[in-house]
Every structure is written in C-alpha cells, then in structure tokens.
C-alpha cells in the first residue's frame, strides 16, 4: 500500500466511523496526525525520474551518477537558459539544442545527464 492509498483509506474510515461520535475525538486527532505525517513523508520522498519530472521550473535536490559514483547536489530544472558558452576565450553556439525542460549544470551550461531521482528542496528553517 502506498502512502497516498493509506491516506485515502484513513480519511474514508474517519468519515464513516467517527463523524458523529463525540467520544472519538482523540482517535480522530490521532488519525489526522497520521495523515499529516504520511503526507509529509510523501512530499519529502525521492522521486525517480522514471515516475516523472518536476512540474515547475526551479532548483531541486538531484541524485545522479557521474564517473561511476552516486552524487547529490542542488541543480536547476527548466528550459534551456543559454544558447552559447564561452570557455578559454572561445564562444560555442548551441543552435541545435532542443528547447525542452531538463536538469542542467549551470557552470558548464549543459544538460545534467544520468539523473536518477529528484526531490523538492526543504523549506527554509524559520526558527522557533
């Protein structure tokens, strides 16, 4: 059973069995805490690229393979940002690059290959 399926089953169970029973408030609160924990767990999980890519452009935590090792790094995802690159005084134009969304390496201005999974960045710590 997936987290999403568990969340739906718990919600359905609460609506059927605990909707009008005042003595079951503690049970309902506990189940609501469980639902929130499962929803957070689902939100924080690694998403294999085989399941899909981000729906929005932005920075994401990526797990990728490079030189035989697994790496984790924050990388941008979005449309091709630049169509040329200058290294050692030589400018290369990438006219034939397809316009599509992908994870890319901004330092080298190229697509980041071998991304195996990604996840949204966590929220910024706000203190207590």
pLDDT digit string, tens, across residues 59-81: 999 999 988 999 999 998 987 64
How deeply is 118 buried, as exposed, middle or buried, from its count of CB atoms within 10 A (0-12, 13-18, 19+)?
buried
Domain residue ranges of the chain, discontinuous segments joined by +: 3-45, 48-120
pLDDT value for 115: 92
Query: Which structure tokens are listed for 43?
Result: 């939100």
Q: Do residues 35 and 43 make contact, with C-beta atoms less than 8 angstroms apart?
A: no
Total-model pTM = 0.62
Spatial CA neighbour of 117 closest among 48, 71, 23: 48
pLDDT digit string, tens, across residues 88-123: 666 655 545 556 778 878 777 678 888 999 999 988
pLDDT value for 119: 93
Query: Which structure tokens are listed for 62?
Result: 């990526």
Q: Tell which wins on pLDDT, 70 or 9.
A: 70
């Amino acid at each position: 059973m997936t987290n999403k399926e568990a969340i739906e089953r718990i919600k359905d169970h609460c609506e059927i069995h605990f909707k009008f029973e005042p003595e079951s408030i503690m049970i309902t609160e506990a189940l609501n805490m469980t639902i929130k924990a499962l929803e957070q767990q689902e939100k924080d999980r690694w998403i294999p690229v085989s399941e899909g890519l981000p729906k929005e452009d932005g920075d994401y935590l990526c797990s990728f393979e490079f030189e035989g090792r697994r790496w984790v790094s924050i990388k941008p995802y979005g449309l091709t940002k630049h169509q040329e690159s200058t290294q050692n005084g030589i400018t290369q134009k990438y006219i034939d690059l397809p316009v599509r969304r992908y994870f890319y390496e901004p330092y080298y201005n190229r697509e980041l290959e071998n991304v195996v999974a990604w996840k949204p960045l966590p929220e910024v710590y706000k203190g207590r």
